[in-house]
Amino acid sequence: MTTRTKKQGSWRTVKREEDGCAYRMMGKGKILRRDQIDTQGLDMPNKLDDLIHDLTNMEEDRMDVVLQRKNVPSSFTGQKMALNHTRGLEASLSAFSFLFSEMIQYSQKRVAGVADLEKRLSNFGYRVGMRELELTLWREKNAKRETRVLGILVFINSTLWKSLFGKVADSLQKSNDHDDEYMITDNDPIILKYISTPKELSSFNAGAFLAGIVEAVLDGCHFAARVTAHSTASDQFPSCMTLLIKFDKSVMQREKAFEGK
Amino acid sequence: MQGTPQPRATAASNQPGARAKAAGEDIWKNRTDKINAELFTLTYGSLVAQLVKDYEDYAEVNTQLDKMGYNIGTRLIEDFIAKSGLTKCGSFVETADVISKIGFKMYLGITPTITNISQDQKEFSLILEDNPLAEFVELPEDAVRDGLWYSNVLCGVLRGALEMVLLQVECNFVADVLRGDEVTEIRVRLVKVLDEEVPAADE
């Protein structure tokens, strides 16, 4: 038997007496068939049938998805819904900046020099980038796997930047001196808005966090590269920042092979 | 913090609660610079992951998150007062209202529900229906078992911010949907109202 316990917003929490588990459901007037529910990772798929049966019989208004059994996250959930409901939401820039500043201070206590500090910030970014890539690609309508250097750079310059900052990066350039180096410039990176670097740390750029994000995205697309952030401030754009992307040898060799074709 | 940032002459705004709500929404809508919420969420996640890696002990991670939150809170309060233009609250219950409807709204875009106000009006609970910090998050089993409070930074923020307005509080999570609880609940208890003095050094 199932008892309905609580209704919060569009959620309903349902408790099953047999196993005492709480289930969450969403009601939108359609029942999902058994085979439409992803049971991967569910520890007792056979119980799902009678759960659905219970729910259908009990509820007058019909349910569509058994969204989430508590304590058994993810694979059993309506992932599409869960992933998209944060799309387009905004958070306060102050809140982000306070958090980011705390992250920098925390890192600063644990490092010997500027290079280490940037490495740590880059690591913070790397974990963000890995996830952001997955999310962006999953939402991209005509996502395809990029195989060429220029393709992936344009993807970062436009698609990734848009999904992170709501705008395209200000420029994408190829280095004159080195074939394997490219630069992406943002004239006014929003995450650096409230950051000013003291004189004794003048070589430090908090954009290392952003460099980490880009490095993770490149890595995730099989373009191994080293990405570093550099301040390219001018009077017009005092917080202007350039990411220097240096591709790994293997990537350049692959690129050459493509060119030969 | 009797809240009248801008005079509002609608019928609904005669209620103190409604007024706070309108003020919070106004600040959020018109006077807050925004950033992609997912970037914020993922960044917080990256921080927690780093702490777990550095300390290898969930209890210590809770403490660190609380400390960082405290540091944030002591700075955030200035921004908060400047933007909201609020002055002293008449009672702790009013403080609760301001925290939820203006504070949380201004920084996270959410308005937690206030419940379980104790008889002596010195304790209340904030129920977070949505928690922007916890989107996309699943806790591994051992984190649940060993008592990680994923969003513990919020407690520190409340503690730090309130201390700066001379309210010493104890603040902790008592339930979190990430851990399989029905709701996400923060309990706040007023310890005492502090005397005006030079603030202690940062932690």
B35 at A interface, C-beta within 8 A: yes
d(CA A160, CA A132): 8
Report the residue of B27, B28, B35, B77 to disrupt the A interface, i.e. the one with the largest count of A CBs within 10 Å: B35
Given an 8 Å threshold on Cβ–Cβ distance, is A92 in contact with B43? Answer: no
Given an 8 Å threshold on Cβ–Cβ distance, is B68 in contact with A106? Answer: yes
Q: What is the CATH number of domain A128-261?
A: 3.30.1380.20
pLDDT classification of B159: cutoffs 50, 70, 90? very high
A3 at B interface, C-beta within 8 A: no
Stretch A101-105: mean pLDDT, rounded? 94
When CB atoms are compared, the residue of A86, A125, A165 closest to B135 is A86
Q: Which residues of A touch B41 (CB under 8 A)?
A: 86, 91
Please write the tens of the pLDDT for every residue from B33-52. 889 999 999 999 999 999 99
Residue A206, classified by CB atoms within 10 Å of its CB into exposed (0-12), middle (13-18) or buried (19+), is buried
**How far is the alpha carbon of B157 from chain A, nearest alpha carbon, in Å?**
10
Given an 8 Å threshold on Cβ–Cβ distance, is A22 in contact with B182? Answer: yes
Given an 8 Å threshold on Cβ–Cβ distance, is A124 in contact with B37? Answer: no
- Predicted TM-score (pTM) of this structure: 0.77
Domains of chain B: 13-193 (3.30.1380.20)
**How far is the alpha carbon of A22 from chain B, nearest alpha carbon, in Å?**
8
Cβ contacts below 8 Å, chain A against chain B, sum to 118
Report the residue of B28, B30, B33, B38 to disrupt the A interface, i.e. the one with the largest count of A CBs within 10 Å: B38
Asked whether the predicted pLDDT for residue A243 surpasses 90, the reply is: yes
Given an 8 Å threshold on Cβ–Cβ distance, is A127 in contact with B135? Answer: no
- Indicate the SS3 state at residue B193: strand
Strand blocks (E) in B52-166: 113-115, 123-127
Asked whether the predicted pLDDT for residue B130 surpasses 70, the reply is: yes
Using DSSP, how many helices (H) and how many strands (E) does chain B show?
7, 5
**How far is the alpha carbon of A172 from chain B, nearest alpha carbon, in Å?**
22
Across all residues in chain B, what is the average pLDDT?
A: 88
B193 at A interface, C-beta within 8 A: no
Given an 8 Å threshold on Cβ–Cβ distance, is A124 in contact with B46? Answer: yes
Please write the tens of the pLDDT for every residue from A181-227. 999 999 999 998 888 888 888 888 899 999 999 999 999 999 999 99
pLDDT at B9: 39
When CB atoms are compared, the residue of A106, A124, A190 closest to B35 is A190
Q: Which residues of B touch A95 (CB under 8 A)?
A: 40, 107-108
Please write the tens of the pLDDT for every residue from A224-242. 999 999 988 888 888 899 9
**Encoded tokens for B40:** 């914020």
Contact B182, B163 (CB under 8 A): no
Asked whether the predicted pLDDT for residue A18 surpasses 90, the reply is: no
Given an 8 Å threshold on Cβ–Cβ distance, is A98 in contact with B72? Answer: yes
* Strand partners for A25: A12, A66
Asked whether the predicted pLDDT for residue B83 surpasses 60, the reply is: yes
When CB atoms are compared, the residue of A98, A100, A110 closest to B75 is A98
CA–CA–CA angle B200, B201, B203 (5° rounding): 115
Query: Cα dist. B123→B98, B126, B168 in Å?
Result: 15, 10, 12
Nearest to B167 by CA among B193, B187, B141: B193
**Between A168 and A142, where is the model more confident?**
A168
Which residue of chain B comes nearest to A124, CA vs CA? B46
d(CA A51, CA A57): 10
d(CA A121, CA A210): 9
pLDDT at A230: 92
* Strand partners for A242: A185, A230
A232: Cα separation from own chain's centroid: 27
Reported for A235-242, long-range contacts at CB under 8 A and 24+ positions apart, including other chains, are A236/A187, A237/A187, A237/A188, A239/A188, A239/A189, A239/A192, A239/A193, A239/A195, A240/A185, A240/A186, A240/A187, A240/A188, A241/A185, A241/A186, A241/A189, A241/A192, A241/A205, A241/A207, A241/A210, A242/A183, A242/A184, A242/A185, A242/A186
Residue A219, classified by CB atoms within 10 Å of its CB into exposed (0-12), middle (13-18) or buried (19+), is middle
**Between A28 and B126, where is the model more confident?**
B126
Contact A174, A122 (CB under 8 A): no
Given an 8 Å threshold on Cβ–Cβ distance, is B50 in contact with A128? Answer: no
B180 at A interface, C-beta within 8 A: yes
pLDDT at A68: 38
d(CA A136, CA A145): 13
CATH 3.30.1380.20 residue window(s) in chain A: 128-261
DSSP-derived letter for residue A72 is B
